Amino acid sequence: MMQRTPGRIARVAQSLERVEPCELSDRIDALRSQGKDILNLYGSPYWPIPGHIREAAERAAADNQLSPSKGFPELRQAIANKMESEGIAADPQSEILVTNGAMHALSLVFTTLLEPGSEVLMYRPSFFFFGLVALAGAVPIYAETIEEEGWRWNTKALESAISAKTKMIVICTPGNPTGYVATEEDLSGVAQVARKHDLLVVSDESYDNMIYPPHRHVRLASFRDARDRTVTICSFTKTLAMQPWRMGFILAPSQLIQYFQKVLEWSSLRCSHVAQRAVQAALQGPQEWVSQIALRFAHSRDLMTSALESSRGSRYVRPQAGPFLFLNVAELNLSGAEFSSWLLTEYGVPTDPGAFFVSDAHVRLPFGGSDDAVQEAARRIREARSKRLSMLPGLATQPSARP
């Protein structure tokens, strides 16, 4: 038997963390196998897709047809039509590339554009771009946002973090994990900084369809002076309630798409023909069900926040979009990782440690699920918080922070 030889493993793979939500899923499975009651909470749509989408997938499976590496022309046209309805003209032949979800799209973009030692600038707290950045040999650099200011973007902080090694700016709106929705002013500031320093902007817009009134999603690519330096990444797993299907796309200038396509061909040849036809049917068919995605998550958000507010002191910024609450646990004198582990093992509430989102004082709490599960999760969190505070005599409960 071959002995374990870490020296055979590339340094980047040795130092790479597992993707926290995947590791959390494994921990949940292990605890449930031991008989532990773990609540079902979701960070993406979790209900069945409509019948016309399933029927399209069944037909595609029977056809067993290879797709072009860019994606089926009909799907790219449907995506272009969607972009046009939002004020963005996109050539389906040269400016759109279908991918195996947003993570695949990000990997293609970073692999194509980054060199070893390049710096990638983004706001903190941040989605876990850092692993994909590291795989490309680059380095993440962060500009701070402040919880007490509602996690609003700060253009001055962003620009002050630029160096000679900065290769691109990465933005995420709606924000994951904070739920912050970038305003036109925020995006204009990013566009100005990018133009001034001749930088590309990669805009992750995976939760573009999960926004709560009165907020609205604005795409950076809709800015005339930003279109030629913006790479937009979208995820159908959230937008169209199709998480298991792993479908997304890149919208970018044609001179970039041609290189992203080459990297895609060397990494996966092409994307699933069945999933593509399913997404095509979702885009071209009835759309009434799509609007229900945001409505259902807004309902769950309101249930969760209302239940948590019944116990004074919970600290979070009310999310403007997305399926997560970013809870501040600093007052408990525990790291986010410690509190997350305690919540899961002792109370059966799944959360992700905030350190994975570059903020160790928080945990990311998904609030999608049945009304009973959401309210029970809030009750257990209140109980855990109360017990922890009782273990810290003299520690004052902090006021809630909900800009």
Residues 6+ apart with CB under 8 A from 106: 129, 132, 202, 204, 233
The Cα 286–Cα 116 span in angstroms is 46
pLDDT of residue 284: 95
| pLDDT at 239 > cutoff 70 | yes
Judge: domain 16-47+289-390, CATH 3.40.50.720.
Answer: no
User: How many Å apart are CA 329 and CA 335, to the nearest integer?
Assistant: 7
CA dist 89 and 79 (Å) reads: 11
Residue 6: band (very low, low, confident or very high) from pLDDT cuts 50, 70, 90: low
- The per-residue pLDDT for range 377-401, each reduced to its tens digit, is 999 999 999 999 888 876 544 433 3
Cβ contact 325:305 at 8 Å: yes
pLDDT at 313: 64
Contact between residue 360 and residue 353 where contact means Cβ atoms under 8 Å apart: yes
Question: Which pLDDT score, from 0 to 100, does residue 398 have?
Answer: 43
Q: Which residues contact 188 (CB under 8 A, 6 or more apart)?
A: 223
Average pLDDT estimate for 112-117 = 96
Query: What gap in Å lies between CA 33 and CA 77, rounded to an integer?
Result: 46
pLDDT at 1 over 50: no
**What is residue 122's predicted lDDT score, i.e. its pLDDT?**
98
Share of the chain above pLDDT 90, in %: 84
If you average pLDDT over residues 136-158, what whole number do you get?
97
Q: What is the pTM of this model?
A: 0.92
What pLDDT was estimated at residue 396? 46
Averaged pLDDT for residues 280-296: 92
Q: Does domain 51-284 have CATH number 3.40.640.10?
A: yes
Phi, psi for residue 260 in degrees, rounded to 5: -60, -40
HSE-CB at 116 with a 13 A cutoff on CA atoms is 1
Share of the chain above pLDDT 70, in %: 95
Burial of 285 (0-12, 13-18, 19+ CB in 10 A): middle
Here the tokens at position 392 are: 């810290």
Q: Check whether 307 has a pLDDT greater than 50.
A: yes
Decide which of 399 and 240 is more confident. 240
Secondary structure class of 141 (helix, strand, coil): strand
Q: What is the pLDDT of residues 183-232, one digit of tens each?
A: 999 999 999 999 999 999 999 999 999 999 999 999 999 999 999 999 99
For range 60-88, the mean pLDDT: 94
**C-alpha Rg value of the chain to the nearest Å:** 21
CA distance 242 to 34: 30
In this prediction, residue 309 carries a pLDDT of: 84
Rounded to an integer, the average pLDDT of 172-182 is 97
State how far the alpha carbon of 158 is from the alpha carbons of 105, 124, 369, in Å: 24, 10, 36
What per-residue confidence (pLDDT) applies to 78? Answer: 97
> pLDDT by residue (tens digit) across 333-366?
999 999 999 999 999 999 999 999 999 999 999 9
Residue 199, Cβ density class (10 Å: 0-12 exposed, 13-18 middle, ≥19 buried): middle
**Inter-residue contact 248 to 236 (CB < 8 Å):** yes
Which residue carries 């993440």 as its tokens? 140
The pLDDT, as a whole number, for residue 390 is 87
As a whole number of angstroms, the distance between CA 104 and CA 250 comes to 10
Pairing of strands 119-124, 166-172: parallel
| Domain range list for the chain | 16-47+289-390, 51-284
* Cβ neighbours, 10 Å, residue 309: 16
- Phi, psi of 119, rounded to the nearest 5 degrees: -105, 135
Q: Provide the 10 A C-beta neighbour count for residue 332.
A: 21
